[in-house]
């Protein structure tokens, strides 16, 4: 039900078959501006009937879109790329208003999304198959890749435009029709993308947006017409979605949470390591799945590194994302902010030391969901602040004596999304790259998000499924391989042969 307040604010709707559609469900969520705590909009929540409507629209559009020439699809994607480029500011502002991240960070998110659209413009080359002439006498074999049909994506609150584009670009480039269920906390960016896609010439029904919560997700997981699910979000939800959707016969890639370690060797450049740790821990208020949340300080680097990080924290400007001077915005909700802050208490009671306490940040006194950058030292595996994905501006320092001890800690962690090593020793970095059980590794790079022509994905509890997202593995995910064996013999030589076909 809409609250009284709801009638006073605009209501964000679904986008189905090329037009805005309100649900019949009479279920709504609220969208808040995390910088002020104010309700900025209401969002309609889908039920199974809305998902059915969207899936029917996507199914109806599939045949014609699939048959559209590759170069035509590339042309449409190219126009979409240009429209997103021209509307960077508008999209970024919508992101900042609902997510809270700074405008410059939101602009960076759109820029990384653009890379994925650019990659997808190469779809005619990406879908080239292989051809083997004369694999037997007079017989040729070739492989083609065909779209799956209707595919769906479910996305998190922390990248309202980039993660939908990760999925959307390759899904439709490959000839599928796509149904997006964005995070209910940040519904606007997806609607902007849908509007731009229509302007770019994406036919109605090829890209649909269904707003909502678990009810909408459950309907997607049950829908027989939906052939594949891409998910990005927290690990428990990723695991549950992977299990349900695969049981229902769907192809699934479900990316989960993270606990990313940055290993600092004693020979690292201290200032560079401190700059990197602060940037990667507190950018986007720590609400990035590739944020650094643990620094493993090896040997005598620990004391000077903690001091260098502490000094830099004091200079971070916390404030509303639209304020040009702000470097770090609020967290997504009040509940989440309070949960993140609770780790500062539990850390103390478990024996860690609070070096910087973000609760003393002046911005926390307003109605927005702010927490200042916080630093914990002498953290150890087993403590709550180490074990949990905090997903906020809290950086933990774990002190270790050796590289081997640091490596063991990283490899024993259940997550395996990103990691980084800071050192001036190429041999040590090479060894780390070889040893570490994590999907994305940075060498003197704190946030190693792969460029769009590689693929993004973690290991262990950070990804359920076989294929990583976007890039070449994204193309694989959104297509079936089909292998054709063909011959054009003279029918005169034809005879019955019950033997198993062999190469002649």
Q: What are the residue numbers of the active site?
A: 289
In this chain, which of 16, 76, 174, 232 binds ligand NAD, going by CB under 6 A? 232
428 to 467, contacts with ligand NAD by CB under 6 A? 458, 462
DSSP letter at 266? T
- Reduced to 3 states (helix: H, G, I; strand: E, B; else coil), residue 14 is strand
φ, ψ of residue 146 in degrees (nearest 5): -120, 150
In angstroms, what is the minimal distance from the CB of 50 to ligand NAD?
14
Contact between 115 and ligand NAD by CB under 6 A: the answer reads no
**Strands of 76-222, DSSP E:** 130-136, 139-147, 150-154, 177-181, 207-209
| Alpha carbons 272 and 320: distance in angstroms, whole number | 27
Whose Cβ is closer to ligand NAD: residue 73's or residue 261's?
261
Q: By CB under 6 A, which span of 209-217, 344-352, 406-414, 493-501 interacts with ligand NAD?
A: 209-217
Contact between 12 and ligand NAD by CB under 6 A: the answer reads no
Q: Could you give the count of Cα atoms lying within 13 Å of 378 in the half-sphere of its Cβ? A: 9
- Reduced to 3 states (helix: H, G, I; strand: E, B; else coil), residue 97 is helix
Contact between 289 and ligand NAD by CB under 6 A: the answer reads yes
Residue that is written with structure tokens 């994406």 in the block: 202
Whose Cβ is closer to ligand NAD: residue 257's or residue 321's?
257
Tokens describing residue 271: 């200032």
Contact between 258 and ligand NAD by CB under 6 A: the answer reads yes
Contact between 177 and ligand NAD by CB under 6 A: the answer reads no
In angstroms, what is the minimal distance from the CB of 295 to ligand NAD?
18
Tokens describing residue 177: 């029709």
122 to 161, contacts with ligand NAD by CB under 6 A? 154-159
In this chain, which of 237, 278, 292, 447 binds ligand NAD, going by CB under 6 A? 237
Whose Cβ is closer to ligand NAD: residue 62's or residue 157's?
157
In angstroms, what is the minimal distance from the CB of 414 to ligand NAD?
13
Radius of gyration of the chain (CA): 25
Contact between 50 and ligand NAD by CB under 6 A: the answer reads no
397 to 426, contacts with ligand NAD by CB under 6 A? 417
- Reduced to 3 states (helix: H, G, I; strand: E, B; else coil), residue 106 is helix
Q: Could you give the count of Cα atoms lying within 13 Å of 144 in the half-sphere of its Cβ? A: 5
15 to 34, contacts with ligand NAD by CB under 6 A? none
Sheet order of strands, 19-21 included: 19-21, 14-16, 207-209, 177-181, 150-154, 226-232, 251-255, 463-464
Whose Cβ is closer to ligand NAD: residue 291's or residue 301's?
291
Total chain residues near ligand NAD (CB under 6 A): 26
Distances (CA, A) of 44 to 181, 191, 209, 438: 12, 13, 11, 38
- Reduced to 3 states (helix: H, G, I; strand: E, B; else coil), residue 93 is helix
Chain residues in the site for ligand NAD (CB under 6 A)? 154-159, 181, 183-184, 213-214, 217, 232-234, 237, 255-258, 289, 389, 391, 417, 458, 462
């Amino acid at each position: 039900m809409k609250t009284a307040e709801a009638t006073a604010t605009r209501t964000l709707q679904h986008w189905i078959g090329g037009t805005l559609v309100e649900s019949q469900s009479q279920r709504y969520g609220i969208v808040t501006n995390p910088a002020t705590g104010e309700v900025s909009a209401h969002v309609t929540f889908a039920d199974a009937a809305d998902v059915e409507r969207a899936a029917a629209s996507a199914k109806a559009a599939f045949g014609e879109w699939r048959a559209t020439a590759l170069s035509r699809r590339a042309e449409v994607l190219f126009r979409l790329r240009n429209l997103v480029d021209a509307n960077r500011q508008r999209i970024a502002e919508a992101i900042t208003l609902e997510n809270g991240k700074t405008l410059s960070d939101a602009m960076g998110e759109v820029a990384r999304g653009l890379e994925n659209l650019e990659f997808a413009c190469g779809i005619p080359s990406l879908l080239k198959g292989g051809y083997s002439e004369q694999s037997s006498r007079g017989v040729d074999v070739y492989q083609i890749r065909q779209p799956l049909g209707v595919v769906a994506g479910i996305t998190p609150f922390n990248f309202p435009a980039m993660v939908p584009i990760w999925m959307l670009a390759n899904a439709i480039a490959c000839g599928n029709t796509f149904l997006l269920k964005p995070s209910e906390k940040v519904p606007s960016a997806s609607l902007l993308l849908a509007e731009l896609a229509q302007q770019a010439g994406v036919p109605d029904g090829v890209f649909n947006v269904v707003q909502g919560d678990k009810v909408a997700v459950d309907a997607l997981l049950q829908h027989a017409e939906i052939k594949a699910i891409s998910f990005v979000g927290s690990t428990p939800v990723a695991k549950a979605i992977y299990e349900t959707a695969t049981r229902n016969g769907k192809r699934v890639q479900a990316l989960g949470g993270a606990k990313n370690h940055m290993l600092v060797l004693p020979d690292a450049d201290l200032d560079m390591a401190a700059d990197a740790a602060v940037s990667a821990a507190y950018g986007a208020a720590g609400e990035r799945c590739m944020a650094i949340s643990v620094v493993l300080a090896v040997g005598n680097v620990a004391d000077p590194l903690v001091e260098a990080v502490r000094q830099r924290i004091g200079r971070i400007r916390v404030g509303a994302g639209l304020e040009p001077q702000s470097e770090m915005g609020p967290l997504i909700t009040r509940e989440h902010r309070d949960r993140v802050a609770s780790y500062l208490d539990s850390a103390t009671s478990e024996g860690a030391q609070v070096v910087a306490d973000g609760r003393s940040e002046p911005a926390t006194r307003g109605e927005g969901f702010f927490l200042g950058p916080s630093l914990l030292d002498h953290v150890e595996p087993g403590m709550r602040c180490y074990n949990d994905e905090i997903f906020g501006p809290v950086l933990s320092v774990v002190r270790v004596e050796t590289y081997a001890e640091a490596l063991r800690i990283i490899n024993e962690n259940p997550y395996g999304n990103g990691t980084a090593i800071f050192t001036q020793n190429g041999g040590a970095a090479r060894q780390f790259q070889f040893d570490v059980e994590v999907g994305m590794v940075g060498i003197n790079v704190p946030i190693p998000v792969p460029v769009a022509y590689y693929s993004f994905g973690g290991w262990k509890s950070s990804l359920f499924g076989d294929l990583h997202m976007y890039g070449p593995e994204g193309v694989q995910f959104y297509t079936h391989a089909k292998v054709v064996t063909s011959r054009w013999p003279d029918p005169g030589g034809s005879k019955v042969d019950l033997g198993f076909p062999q190469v002649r």
